Amino acid sequence: MNITANRLTAASGLCAAAAGAIFIGVQINHPPADVAHIATTEIAVREAAKILMTILALVGFTGMFLRNRRRFGVLGLAGYLLLTVGYLAIFAVQVIVACVLPALAQSNPGYVQDVLDAGVGGSPLGDIGHLHELFLVSGIGYSLGGLLFGIALFRAGVLARWASLLLAYATTSALALAVLPESFSRPFAVPTGVALIGLGISLWRDQRRQAQTVDAPATARVAEPTTR
What tens digit of pLDDT does each residue of 133-182 get? Answer: 998 999 999 999 999 999 999 999 889 999 999 999 999 987 776 656 55
83-to-58, 65, 97, 100, 213 alpha-carbon distances in Å: 8, 11, 21, 25, 31
2-to-5, 6, 39, 204, 211 alpha-carbon distances in Å: 10, 10, 45, 17, 11
**Alpha carbon distance 78, 76 (integer Å):** 5
pLDDT of residue 69: 86
Contact 190, 24 (CB under 8 A): yes
Contact 197, 17 (CB under 8 A): yes
Count of beta carbons in the 10 Å neighbourhood of residue 224:
9
Amino acid (one-letter) located at 160:
A
Give the end-to-end CA distance of the chain in Å, rounded to a whole number: 29
pLDDT at 19 over 90: yes
Q: Quick one: average pLDDT of 15-22?
A: 96
Please give the DSSP secondary-structure letter assigned to residue 126: S
pLDDT of residue 184: 59
Determine what percent of the chain is predicted with pLDDT higher than 70.
Answer: 86
Predicted TM-score (pTM) of the model is 0.86
